[in-house]
Structure 1
Amino acid sequence: MPASLRLALAASLAAFLGALAVTARAEAPMRGHGGPVRALAVTADGQRALSGSFDASAILWSLEDGAALRVLRIHDGAVNAVSLLPDGGLLTGGEDGRIALWRDDSGPERILATHAGPVSGLAVAPDGRRIASSSWDGTARITPLDGGPALVREGHQGNVNGVAFLPDGRLVTAGYDGTVRIWPEAGPAVTVQLEGPANAVTAAADGEIAAAGADGSLYLLRPDGGIRARLEVGPRPVVALALSPDGRRLAAATVGGAVAVIDRDEARVRLTLVGPGLPVWSLAFRGNDELVTGGGDRLVRRWDLRTGEPIGPLAMTRPADALAGFAGDRGAEVFRACEACHTLTPDGGNRAGPTLHGVFGRRIATVPDYPYSPAFRRLDIVWTPETIARLFEIGPARFTPGTKMPEQTITTAEDRAALVRFLEEATR
């Protein structure tokens, strides 16, 4: 065989094998985070994704080949929110309350804002000149990118969990107090009361608002705050929302691991994506026919919405329901609100919160390998039936200042006692 032909064949074979390698890599889940993937955003051209994690890092990915292009580290604690600027800038918001702007490999360009509590959501204004942030400090902020003073929005009773801009520039916020608030440039907000805490919010180009409920519901609101529709997405809390670029579909993620894909006009679930059973914390559309999700298994996955199937293997089998053996136990029912963040068994490990295995008799902030806040480490508490009951009687913010826990209380003594009895049994 002539040398020239051998070289041509070798080059063709190398190109073919290289193409196979790129395809295989692109179709595998993206692995790189050391903790659950809490936040996701995809560039308008669909080429890159930005993810934030409980491991205190953000990663910029190439969606074509699944390669990690950059790892961004500055936050002291989880990266709860990410967003993308029209000019290519990257935004990260952390548990430390800081919002960082990134443009090149030299580190953050600057810190845009600092909240007094963890940042829970980020949004970019339609004009690309301002950003909005929500925080567990009970506020939302509109921060000009040119360095002007921030506009602080106050009124929610408790954590503000999500933020979005309407097409006309008005701000929308969603909070643990079960309200969605629409803020004009001046004057009081229009307040919409939902039936439970609101975990996330997004807004379409026509002004319709979608809000995710901790009761497993999705609410579709008109721009004036009127409720157009309410959908039952599932029995588990909805924790993240994404809107397709054409505005026709919504995706709603749950702590149970399923994602509902919803026809927005019809207000109807058209497709359910079933993952490995761990919480799906974040999601973003890549074009109109592909969804990118981040979950409790630390992976970033792609889904083909034309088939409802993952692109590549799920890589994990669906775990058994940890509470299946406690059917009918009132304490286990109360604990359902906690299972997204805490495991109970020796091999469960840490999630957003530390494992509860062996919690009784344990001093606070002593689980190995869990990144407690400095304020939390200074507390002098031993977990007993009495201290756990007190935690949920007055709320984490008062009983354990500096905690990462969402603010929540259990209002009846009977339910608090049932939870304690369940934990005594399940964490031994």
Structure 2
Amino acid sequence: MPVPFRLALSALACLLAVTARAEAPMRGHGGPVRALAVTADGSRALSGSFDASAILWSVEDGAALRVMRAHDGAVNAVAFLPDGGLLTAGEDGRIALWRDSPEPERIVATHAGPVSGLAVAPGGRRIASSSWDGTARITPLDGGPALVREGHQGNVNGVAFLPDGRLVTAGYDATVRIWPESGPAVTVQLETPVNAVAAAPDGEIAAAGADGTLHLLRPDGSLRARLEVGPRPVVALALSPDGRRIAAATVGGAVAVVDRAQARVVLTLVGPGLPVWSLAFRGAGELVTGGGDRLVRRWDLAAGEPIGPLAMTRPADALAGFAGDRGAAVFRACEACHTLTPDGGNRAGPTLHGIFGRRIAAVPDYPYSPAFRRLDIVWTPETVARLFEIGPARLTPGTKMPEQTIGAAEDRAALVRFLERATR
């Protein structure tokens, strides 16, 4: 084949690949996408997942630019800083600041419970975080002491800054609290737990209710409007850059787009039926969502349709040939993070193909933690069973594997027998 012709075919193939990738959902996480943020210019997105990773994406071509792993558990919140820094916050209570290195630059704050939300203050010099430890914190990024806000009874689920710098928090105790620089908070009692909160450029506050409602509060906390966007719980909110529209995501899989001034739903985006856990506007005309299908999707708000296919081809069920096998049923809880076959590859966790007789931390190209690499274990039926008897934190300290045990000895034995068959 002549060289120019080969080059032309190569260029065409690259063009077709880029076009297909740009119109397809962003695929890379091994678990539901729990958190999303988009840069002001719309060129980059940052996602956090139940698989304990965060991914930086090029939105236009759908390419994963960087995968970040530092948290022991789900990445529940992410944010961009004005100076180009990235923030990730996790189930482990830590908030990590990332720049250009493969490891976090530093841990900027630590909570005693999972971090549920992040917000960047006007000017970008402070951040706020909410946590299931019952507190919110305002942390200066220059290393100064954090200001701790206490008062919620139970989990604090969301946090936002008003334009004047005041903090707003939302809690499972069905309250929204507006915190002045000093003194007690203004407490707004609602009729349902509040799952998320957002603040508009004019200071209006949007609060997401577990009963499927959206409350719009004035900056002083008084109620301006209440509307139904459910019927399923609203779990995430996003405001358009101009503040005119609010997107409200539900665990039922639909997203309501609300005209804020009119306090009415003007568009409903219907996904594949799985929960939508996170969302962010990309300019005024596009929405980016993440959910239970592990994908990051783009939506054209003018058309009310997804950019690219909505229904993705369902991968073959790797466990279909093990129907009725008790060990395969036990393994279902591990399937989101681990594959079994030679061509399955790594997900949130390394492939288990060939696990028995393999030394720990030996799968090529998997980013094990330094502590994990220092362990001296060979995987055998006995060590795998022991892992699920006492838990990963005790047998393999330093692991990023979610803490879990299998209480029944017969279930552990069934899992080991299944893995002996399925990973050869």
The aligned residue for residue 368 of structure 2 is none
How far the C-alpha of 1:235 sits from its partner, in A, is 1.0
Question: Which residue in the other structure is 1:342 paired with?
Answer: none
In the superposition, relative to structure 1, how do residues 87 and 290 fare at CA in structure 2: closer, same or farther (>3 Å)? same
Provide, for residues 276-309 of structure 1, a one-character-per-residue CA deviation record: whole Å limited to 9, x for no partner: 0000000001111100000001111000000011
2:152 aligned partner:
156
Q: For residues 82-161 of structure 1, what are the structure 2 equivalents within 5 Å?
A: 82-161=78-157
Contact 1:134–1:161 (8 Å) recurs in 2 = yes
2:286/2:299 contact within 8 Å kept: yes
Aligned counterpart in structure 1 of residue 243 of structure 2, from 236, 243, 247:
247
* Secondary structure of the structure 1 residue equivalent to 2:230: coil
Matching residue of 2:217: 221
Is 2:260 aligned against 1:264?
yes
Relative to structure 1, the CA distance from residue 239 to residue 65 in structure 2 (aligned partners, 3 Å threshold; closer, same or farther) is: same
Q: Deviations over 1:82-124 (max 9, x none)?
A: 0110011000000000000000133100000100000000000
Residue in structure 1 matched with residue 382 of structure 2 by the alignment: none
Task: State the partner residue of 2:289.
Answer: 293
* Paired position in structure 2 for 1:312: 308
Match of 2:62 in 1: 66
Which whole-Å CA distance do the structure 1 matches of 2:196 and 2:92 have between them?
20
Name the residue aligned to 2:176.
180
In structure 2, the residue matched to 1:387 is none
Sort the Cα spacing of 1:347 and 1:123 in 2 relative to 1 into closer, same or farther, 3 A: same
Which residue is equivalent to 1:57? 53
Task: Identify if the C-alpha distance between structure 1 residues 381 and 208 changes in structure 2 by more than 3 Å, giving closer, same or farther.
Answer: farther
Name stretches of at least 5 consecutive residues in structure 2 with no aligned partner: 315-328, 338-387, 393-399, 410-424
Change (3 A) 1:308 1:145: same
For residues 338-353 of structure 1, the aligned pairs below 5 Å read 349-350=332-333
Residue of structure 1 equivalent to 2:166: 170
- Asked if 1:236 is matched to 2:232, the reply is yes
* Helix, strand or coil at the partner of 2:105: strand
Structure 1 residue 143, shift from structure 2 partner = 0.1
SS state of the match for residue 17, structure 2?
A: helix
The structural deviation recorded for 1:368 is 11
Letter in 2 for 1:133: S
In the TM superposition, 1:274-423 aligns within 5 A as 274-316=270-312, 349-350=332-333
* Contact 1:276–1:316 under 8 Å retained in 2: no
The 5 A counterparts of 1:191-202 are 191-202=187-198
Q: What is the alpha-carbon distance in structure 2 between the residues aligned to residue 368 and residue 29 of structure 1?
A: 35
**Secondary structure, aligned partner of 2:157:** strand
* CA distance 1:348–1:177, shift in 2 (3 Å): farther
**Partner Cα distance (2:408, 2:128) in 1:** 37
Structure 1's 367 and 200: CA in aligned 2 closer, same or farther, altered over 3 A? farther
Aligned equivalents of 1:228 and 1:317: distance in 2? Answer: 44
Going from structure 1 to structure 2, the CA distance change for 1:373 and 1:70 (only over 3 Å counts) comes to closer
Distance 1:180 1:123 in 2: 16
**What is the rounded CA distance, in whole Å, between the counterparts of 2:153 and 2:95 in structure 1?**
23
**What residue is the counterpart of 1:331 in the other structure?**
none
Change over 3 Å in CA distance of 1:213–1:372 after alignment to 2: farther
Q: Structure 2 vs 1, CA of residues 194 and 145 (structure 1 numbering), >3 Å: closer, same or farther?
A: same
Letter in 2 for 1:67: A
- The one-letter code of the counterpart of 1:238 is V
CA distance in 1, matches of 2:151, 2:63: 42
- The alignment partner of 1:108 has SS state of coil
Q: Retained in 2: the 8 A contact 1:176–1:199?
A: yes
Q: Counterpart in 2 of 1:19?
A: 15
The number of residue pairs the alignment matches comes to 338
Amino acid across the alignment from 2:214? L
For residues 306-327 of structure 1, the C-alpha deviation after alignment (integer angstroms, 9 at most, x for no partner) is 0011001113499xxxxxxxxx
CA contact (8 A) 2:251 2:274 kept: yes
Percent identical residues: 80
**Deviation of 1:20 (Å):** 2.8
* Structure 1 residues 34 and 368: CA distance shift in structure 2, 3 A: farther
**Does structure 2 conserve the Cα–Cα contact (< 8 Å) formed by 1:55 and 1:77?**
yes
Give the superposition deviation at 1:22.
1.1
Shift in alpha-carbon separation, 1:237–1:48, aligned structure 2, 3 A: same
1:367/1:45 CA distance change after superposition, 3 Å: farther
Distance, in Å, in 1 between the alignment partners of 2:169 and 2:60 is 34
Tell me the secondary structure at the aligned position of residue 202 of structure 1.
strand
Q: Distance in 1 between matches of 2:7 and 2:262?
A: 52
